[in-house]
Amino acid sequence: MKAGWLPQPFAMPAVPPQAARARSSRRRALLAAAALAWCFGALAQGSGPAWNQLTPQQREALAPLSGQWNTLPADNKRKWLEIAEKYPQLSPEGKAHMQARMAEFARLTPEQRATARENFQRAYTLPRENRESAVQQFQALPEDKKKELAERQRRDAAKAAPAR
């Protein structure tokens, strides 16, 4: 017979009701505080896995990042691990091509990476000829002209952004 399932009127501790109430209230406040602490803990992640914690397969895919891996933010590491998962599906040429660009991409500033993603998406809204033409034009430009263009683009983007 399970004693726990029976009413136990005489097993109640003989505590004055006020003290019991205060104790239960304290316990609830403690539980609530623990829950909040857990939330903040869950939101603020650690620094992610260290280089020597990666699997050999992940290390092979992300080899160009080995030097800077331990300094990357946790979210950035998660993103690269996601890329490393797709890496084995590539052909040997594809793997070589990706690794050659990987280190260069990781060296970009966060702002440059955001611009690269934006321009990449914009480039693929154009037919191949227009895309290649834009690349050729850009590579033929002198540095100061490139800077001028970039500045103009920044101003246009600021103008296009909704006023706050």
Cα(104)–Cα(97) distance, integer angstroms: 12
Select the residue interacting with other proteins from 52, 53, 113, 163 (CB under 8 A): 113
Select the residue interacting with other proteins from 22, 50, 63, 141 (CB under 8 A): 141
Select the residue interacting with other proteins from 18, 53, 71, 125 (CB under 8 A): 125
The site for other proteins, by CB under 8 A, has a size of 72
What does the DSSP assignment read for 71-109? GS-HHHHHHHHHHHHHGGGS-HHHHHHHHHHHHHHHHS-
The amino acid at residue 103 is A
Stretch that binds other proteins, among 52-60, 65-73, 105-113 (CB under 8 A): 105-113
- What is the nearest approach in angstroms of other proteins to the Cβ of residue 161? 14
Residues 14-43 that bind other proteins (CB under 8 A): 17, 21, 24, 27-29, 31-32, 35-36, 38-39, 42-43
Which of 62, 76, 154 is CA-nearest to residue 115?
154
Name the token pair of 17: 């009701």
47 makes contact with other proteins (CB under 8 A): no
Distances (CA, A) of 62 to 68, 98, 163: 11, 10, 41
Select the residue interacting with other proteins from 49, 137, 158, 163 (CB under 8 A): 137
